[in-house]
Amino acid sequence: MIALATSTLSVAAYSILPYVALSIGIGGLIWRRKTDRFGWTARSTELLENKVLRFASVLFHLGVLAAIGGHVLGILIPQSFTEAVGLSDEAYHVLAVVGGITAGAAVVIGFAALMYRRIKFPRVRVTTTRMDVVTFVVLGVAIASGMLATLINIPDSVHYRESVAPYFRQIFVLNPDPELMEGVNWIFQFHVTFVWFLYALWPFSRLIHAFTVPVGYPLRSPIVYRPRKAGRPQTGKFGGGSPDYSPSIPAVTKATPEGSGGPDQGS
């Protein structure tokens, strides 16, 4: 329940905005999945430039993965749990700061290099859409504010595990508590509020490719055969199959010329 003491702005930013953003984000994902599978792609530009991309893309993406992992750990795992497994608050903070700064630095450097590349190389520049520009600005602000928040919290002054983290857990259990956010450092407030715009933007931007991780690839047979009629998987790894294989195209034998009719049988 929303406390009466909280201001209207606070309610809007901490209680309403998250659900609006998540609704747009999740609804957008479903809509995009249904209407635009063709546009659901990473839109790689490696063909057009690969020397800067080589380190920038790897640095950025690995940094982002580490940063996302850090956010998940920091938000979802309660302080009581880490204390229970014997990790002191001081040790946890050192881990969080060192990990956060490392991942953040990778993201910042990678992102800056990717932006430099996009502006510097005309071939990459021409593939940039207006939506890309919006995405890069929003992503850039989110990254900058996140990095700044990490640096500001080096002395462990914010105590976000007692404020920001429970605030997020409350959102996920559909019981937001804006008061938890009201006392924290302004940069945390800004970062937490701002990233909702990123989530709302996500399905409509090139960031959509994050939802296409090909996890099934290692389990798949190397050679893929597709039947005309969907729904029946192939049998063997390299396209072979058992003798009881049921055909998708019924055999048309010479003995029964009237068998399956159709005007275009002849060769």
Partner 1 sequence: MKVRAQMGMVMNLDKCIGCHTCSVTCKNVWTNRRGTEYVWFNNVETKPGRGYPVDYEDQAKWKGGWELDRRGKLKLKAGGPLRKLASIFYNPDLPELDAYYDPWTYDYDKLISSPASDQQPVARPKSQVTGDSLDLNWGPNWEDDLAGSAEHAVHDPNFRNIQEEVRQGFEETFMVYLPRICEHCVNPACVASCPSGAMYKREEDGIVLVDQEACRSWRFCVSGCPYKKVYFNWNTGKAEKCNFCFPRIEAGMPTVCSETCVGRLRHLGVVLIDTDRVEAAASVADDKDLLDAQLDLMLDPDDPEVREQALRDGIPADWLDAASNSPVYAMAKKWRIALPLHPEYRTLPMVWYVPPLSPIESVGAELIRDGGDEENIFAAIDQMRIPIGYLASILAAGDPEPVRLSLERLVAMRRYMRDVNLGNEVRPSIATEAGMEPHELEEMFRMVAIGDYDDRYVIPRRHGEVSPDAFTAQGSCGIDFANGAPVPGVGAMTGVDAPDPYGGALASASSGEVTERGALAQEAPDPEFDIRDLLVKRHPAETAGEGDHA
Give the residue with the Cβ less far from partner 1, 90 or 264: 264
Q: Which residue of 229, 231, 233, 258 would you call a contact of partner 1, by CB under 8 A?
A: 229
Q: Which residue of 5, 9, 174, 224 would you call a contact of partner 1, by CB under 8 A?
A: 224
**Does residue 80 interact with partner 1 by CB under 8 A?**
no
Q: Which residue of 7, 157, 175, 260 would you call a contact of partner 1, by CB under 8 A?
A: 260
Considering CB under 8 A, how many residues would be counted as binding partner 1? 79
| DSSP string computed for 11-32 | HIIIIIHHHHHHHHHHHHHHHH
**Does residue 27 interact with partner 1 by CB under 8 A?**
no
For residues 236 and 241, what is the distance between their CA atoms, to the nearest angstrom?
Answer: 5
**Does residue 120 interact with partner 1 by CB under 8 A?**
no
Q: From the CB of 107, what's the least distance to partner 1, in Å? A: 13
Q: Which residue of 2, 22, 25, 61 would you call a contact of partner 1, by CB under 8 A?
A: 61
Cβ(124)–Cβ(49) below 8 Å: yes
Residue spans of alpha helices (H) in 36-129: 51-76, 79-84, 89-120, 122-125
Q: Which residue of 35, 84, 173, 186 would you call a contact of partner 1, by CB under 8 A?
A: 35
Q: Which residues lie below 8 Å from residue 102, measured CB to CB, with a gap of 6+?
A: 66
For residues 164 and 177, what is the distance between their CA atoms, to the nearest angstrom?
Answer: 10
Q: Which listed range, 5-13, 70-78, 184-192, 249-257, lies at the site for partner 1 (CB under 8 A)?
A: 249-257
CA-to-CA dists, residue 12 to 16, 18, 116, 165, 222, angstroms: 5, 9, 36, 19, 51
Q: Which residue of 218, 231, 233, 258 would you call a contact of partner 1, by CB under 8 A?
A: 218
Q: Which residue of 26, 62, 73, 141 would you call a contact of partner 1, by CB under 8 A?
A: 62
Token pair recorded at residue 155: 């002395």
**Does residue 252 interact with partner 1 by CB under 8 A?**
yes
**Does residue 216 interact with partner 1 by CB under 8 A?**
yes
Cβ(137)–Cβ(128) below 8 Å: no
